[in-house]
Structure 1
Amino acid sequence: MLTIWGRVNSSNVQKVMWCVGELGLEHCRIDAGREFGVVDDPDYRARNPNGRVPTILDDGVTLWESNAICRHLARKHGRLLPAALADKARVDMWMDWQQTEAMPALSPVFWGLVRTPPERRDQAAIADGKKKSIAAMTILDAELGRHSHVVGNTFSVADIPLAIVAYRYYGLIQDGPRLAHLDRWYRLMAERPAFVAHVGSIPLT
């Protein structure tokens, strides 16, 4: 059985859980990280030396890094990936962009507004994060103006991490510009049962 370590309110764990939900995989999830501990236990560090979540054990294979896990599960089960080689590369491109551009832009906003008491907030860092997040979402909006999903016109594993960023973006930045293509795509994502179960029903904490 697929075993997943990680807490449900972690955006990175949510990627894996949403992917698992889309694939309909039997699994066991173990709470880990933050208030649950576990990540500093020697057994866990032997699986994931970074001491972060998620980590999975899948048929004897241990993996960490959420986007890599999602791609592994999609490849293994033959779903959520486009057929064309170039489109597979675009899946990698947009998933990498989520990790290197979109989420780092939003992280100061999330940490500042959700996990920092009001009296200790760095308002300049929050404002800068909002500006960078709007710029990142504008790039994604332009891409979504070309097709219905992140890569082409079919739901793929690339949509998962970017929709999780969008969930936080919409929850934290209400004064951004209207991005019609992003709005349209996000409504589609928010209707997916696995998104509702593993992302949309979980408050930002």
Structure 2
Amino acid sequence: MLTIWGRLNSHNVKKVAWFAQEIGIAHVRHDVGGAFGMDAAYLALNPNALIPTIEDGDLVLWESNAILRYLAARYAPETFWPEDPALRARADKWMDWQFSYADAQRDAFLNLVRYPPEARDPAAVTRSAERSAEMMALIERALDDHPWLSGDAFGLGDIPMGVYVHSWMTLDIARPDMPNVRRWYSALQARPGYASQVMIPLT
């Protein structure tokens, strides 16, 4: 059975927990990180002291997007890991791009979710919201041509930014209207794994 180590209020853990449900693989998840801490046994698995980490048989793997690629290739290649390199690349670019987006959204998320009101920096929130909107506009334009970031069907490329669009839609920040992003977000919300693993309160 697949074991996922990491607390579910982490964006990166959400990716893996959601995808495990999408592909229907039996798994168990253990809370690690944040308020749950990390013991020596976990640090032996992941010396980076980050989450998530998975164990799958003898394999120990960390880095959330590497985990997604591994699970897709091993357990759902027909659906999520196409043989055509061009099709894989179409999805793959959004997986790597997500890390740049995460940098843009970080200050808004930390200030509004993790920091107490007296410690918040409103200017940092505004800058972060503006930069997040600029980057989300790239997704808006990409969704002009295809219904999903992965192309004509839901795919691996929709997972990482699918997690972050929920935060963007939930944070108390100014958001320009983006019809394509709203449509995409609504389609994601209809997926059971997204509803149960991603659409939880931001903490």
Q: TM-score, normalised by structure 2?
A: 0.95
User: Would you say 1:126 and 2:125 are equivalent positions?
Assistant: yes
Question: What is the match of residue 159 of structure 1?
Answer: 158
The 2-side partners of 1:67 and 1:173 are apart by 27
2:201 equivalent among 185, 200, 203: 203
AA at the equivalent of 1:73 = L
AA at the equivalent of 1:125 = A
Question: What is the match of residue 17 of structure 2?
Answer: 17
- CA shift, 1:57, in A, is 0.5
Question: What is the match of residue 53 of structure 1?
Answer: 51
The 2-side partners of 1:133 and 1:173 are apart by 13
Q: Give the conservation status (yes or no) of the 8 Å contact 2:7–2:30.
A: yes
- CA shift, 1:43, in A, is 1.9
AA at the equivalent of 1:105 = A
Q: Give the conservation status (yes or no) of the 8 Å contact 2:133–2:175.
A: yes
AA at the equivalent of 2:95 = M
AA at the equivalent of 1:155 = F
User: Would you say 1:69 and 2:70 are equivalent positions?
Assistant: no
Query: Any idea what the Cα deviations from partners look like across 1:35-85, whole Å, max 9, x if unmatched?
Result: 111x2x222112111111110001211111111101110010123234421
Question: What is the match of residue 31 of structure 1?
Answer: 31
Q: Give the conservation status (yes or no) of the 8 Å contact 2:129–2:173.
A: no
User: Would you say 1:144 and 2:109 are equivalent positions?
Assistant: no
Q: Give the conservation status (yes or no) of the 8 Å contact 1:130–1:173.
A: no
- CA shift, 1:173, in A, is 4.7
State the percentage of identical aligned residues.
Answer: 42
- CA shift, 1:195, in A, is 0.3
AA at the equivalent of 1:45 = L
Q: Give the conservation status (yes or no) of the 8 Å contact 1:105–1:133.
A: yes
Question: What is the match of residue 8 of structure 2?
Answer: 8
Instruction: Give the root-mean-square deviation of aligned CA atoms.
Output: 1.1
Question: What is the match of residue 93 of structure 2?
Answer: 93
Query: Any idea what the Cα deviations from partners look like across 1:139-176, whole Å, max 9, x if unmatched?
Result: 11100111000021111111011111100000015531
* 3-state SS in 1 of match to 2:198: helix
Question: What is the match of residue 107 of structure 1?
Answer: 106
Structure 1, unmatched stretches of 5+, are none
Query: Any idea what the Cα deviations from partners look like across 1:81-134, whole Å, max 9, x if unmatched?
Result: 3442112112221100001x2111111100000111111111111111001100
AA at the equivalent of 2:195 = V
Q: Give the conservation status (yes or no) of the 8 Å contact 2:6–2:29.
A: yes
Question: What is the match of residue 169 of structure 1?
Answer: 168
Q: Which runs of 4+ in 1 moved over 3 A?
A: none
Cα distance change of structure 1 residues 122 and 29 upon mapping to structure 2, 3 Å threshold: same
AA at the equivalent of 2:60 = T
Question: What is the match of residue 44 of structure 1?
Answer: 42
* 3-state SS in 1 of match to 2:80: coil
* 3-state SS in 2 of match to 1:28: strand
Q: TM-score, normalised by structure 1?
A: 0.94
Structure 2, unmatched stretches of 5+, are none
AA at the equivalent of 2:191 = R
| Number of residue pairs aligned between Structure 1 and Structure 2 | 201
Q: Give the conservation status (yes or no) of the 8 Å contact 1:82–1:156.
A: no
AA at the equivalent of 1:26 = A
